[in-house]
């Protein structure tokens, strides 16, 4: 089969190729473990939309360059923007909007996952029709360790795991490796790492998006497995997890975020997460997110100083502020109708207009000018 390859500049943070009837998207920040920056989010959305609308493309593969699939969101980006209100709102909006479209993509998606797949990076793996991991894959949702919450659709995905495994993973940031990721239901197949390149070549040779044909190819390379006796997924350990993470205690405040996801639709979960994320980024009740990044990523002393310091000090009123609904026009705009599928983009949202207007005013007026703060706090 003749293979036409269209390649972008290899310096791009996202590389898109069209090989025959297969689209290949590569997150290309290997030195940064393919963390997801604002530019990565923008380009992923553009490329996935283009490939979904392209009738000649039947299958789309997503992978990461280098030794990691993706280590998650670009925490330095958030930390560097901490002093400017809503500096990362655009990236946040685009990411949640993108998550919905990945979950509901109209063509088969295959994630080839080698190395780290964490947080927002894992959100590019778990929803796929086919998510292939290797023995070197490491999955985690470690957001609570830096004062954040399981985001990018994980309140929806974790809540649907067996027993209380979702609460355990979401609250502790515990890691799953290789076959554990498949056993937990967070990936579909495991393939030996040395065979991943050969698998990709076989997928590229497919001339259709037939899901049975895709699965047949993957199964040729996949292996059977047994869970190690020390795995948290062993029955005796899962029974302990189920018991501990079903208690009605103060921690219920935290667990309810994931448990509510069991009763909510994907779009409801994403809209809720969008509100929570923005309220945390805006320091609605505390500076904990930036304190967590500072302690774990920037200074690396691993000793964040949380405020408040104990769960007993957390008030229901504070938690309610984090979950508080936005005005309807400021919510994440997701169209569940196929004919309007790719509408609701950030560029058409009130945020785009107001933030750009504020930036224009700031360029011509001193930051101390009366009214600047009002514009920034209007959203």
In the set 20, 45, 72, 120, the catalytic residue is 120
For the question of residue 143 being annotated catalytic, the response is: yes
- The answer to whether 323 touches 277, Cβ cutoff 8 Å, is no
Is 185 noted as a catalytic residue in this protein?
Answer: no
User: Are 172 and 204 contacting, i.e. CB atoms less than 8 angstroms apart?
Assistant: no
Q: Which of 73, 153, 178, 261 is catalytic?
A: 73
Q: Convert the chain into a string of H (helix), E (strand) and C (coil).
A: CCCCCCCCCCCCCEEEEEECCEEEEEECCHHHCCCECHHHHHHHHHHHHHHHHCCCCCEEEEEECCCCCECCECHHHHHHCCCCCCCCHHHHHHHHHHHHHHHCCCCCEEEEECCEEEHHHHHHCCCCCEEEECCCCEEECCHHHHCCCCCCCHHHHHHHCCCCHHHHHHHHCCCEECHHHHHCCCCCEECCHHHHHHHHHHHHCCCCCCHHHHHHHHHHHCCCCCCCCCCCCCHHHHHHHHHHCCCCCCCHHHHHHHHHHHHCCHHHHHHHHHHHHHHHHCCCCCCHHHHHHHHHHHCCCCCCCCCCCCHHHCCHHHHHHHHCCCCHHHCCCCCCCHHHCCCCCHHHCHHHHHHHHHHHHHHHCCCCCCCHHHHHCCC
Measured CA to CA, the distance from residue 22 to residue 3 in angstroms comes to 10
Choice among 38, 86, 90, 143 that is catalytic: 143
Catalytic residue among 86, 151, 200, 273: 151
**Is 371 one of the catalytic residues?**
no
Q: Which residues, at least 6 apart from 293, have a Cβ–Cβ distance to it below 8 Å?
A: 75, 76, 78, 79, 146
Under 8 Å CB-to-CB from 9, ≥6 apart: which residues?
Answer: none
Could you give the C-alpha distances from 158 to 162, 179, 260, in angstroms and in order? 9, 17, 11
User: Among residues 204, 202, 207, 238, which one has the least CA distance to residue 218?
Assistant: 202
120 is catalytic: yes
Looking up tokens 């290309």 gives: 28
Active site residue ranges: 73, 120, 143, 151
């Amino acid at each position: 089969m003749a293979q036409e390859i269209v390649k972008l500049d290899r310096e791009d943070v996202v590389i898109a190729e069209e090989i025959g009837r297969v689209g290949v998207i590569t997150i290309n920040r290997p030195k940064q473990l393919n963390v997801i920056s604002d530019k990565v989010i923008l380009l992923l959305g553009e490329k996935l939309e283009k490939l979904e609308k392209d009738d000649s493309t039947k299958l789309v593969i997503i992978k990461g360059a280098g030794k990691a699939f993706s280590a998650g969101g670009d925490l330095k980006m958030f930390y560097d923007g901490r002093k400017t209100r809503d500096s990362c709102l655009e990236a946040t909006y685009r990411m949640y909007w993108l998550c919905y479209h990945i979950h509901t993509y109209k063509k088969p998606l295959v994630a080839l996952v080698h190395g780290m797949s964490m947080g927002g990076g894992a959100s590019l793996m778990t929803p796929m029709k086919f998510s292939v991991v290797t023995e070197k894959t490491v999955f985690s949702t470690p957001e609570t360790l830096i004062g954040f919450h399981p985001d990018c659709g994980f309140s929806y995905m974790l809540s649907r795991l067996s027993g209380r495994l979702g609460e355990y993973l979401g609250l502790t940031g515990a890691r799953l490796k290789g076959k554990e990721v498949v056993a937990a239901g967070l990936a579909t197949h495991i393939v030996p790492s040395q065979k991943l390149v050969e698998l990709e070549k076989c997928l590229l040779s497919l001339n259709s998006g037939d899901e049975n044909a895709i699965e047949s190819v993957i199964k040729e390379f996949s292996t059977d497995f047994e869970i190690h006796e020390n795995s948290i997924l062993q029955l005796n350990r899962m029974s302990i997890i189920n018991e501990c993470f079903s208690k009605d205690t103060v921690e219920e405040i935290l667990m309810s975020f994931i448990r509510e996801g069991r009763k909510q639709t994907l779009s409801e979960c994403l809209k809720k997460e969008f509100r929570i994320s923005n309220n945390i980024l805006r320091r609605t009740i505390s500076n904990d997110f930036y304190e967590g990044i500072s302690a774990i990523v920037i200074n690396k002393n691993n000793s964040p100083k949380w405020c408040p310091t104990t769960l007993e000090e957390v008030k229901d009123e504070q938690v309610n502020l984090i979950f508080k609904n936005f005005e309807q026009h400021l919510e994440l705009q997701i169209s569940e109708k196929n004919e309007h599928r790719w509408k609701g983009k950030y560029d058409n949202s009130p945020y785009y207009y107001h933030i750009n207007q504020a930036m224009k005013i700031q360029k011509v007026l001193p930051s101390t000018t009366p009214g600047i703060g009002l514009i920034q706090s209007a959203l």
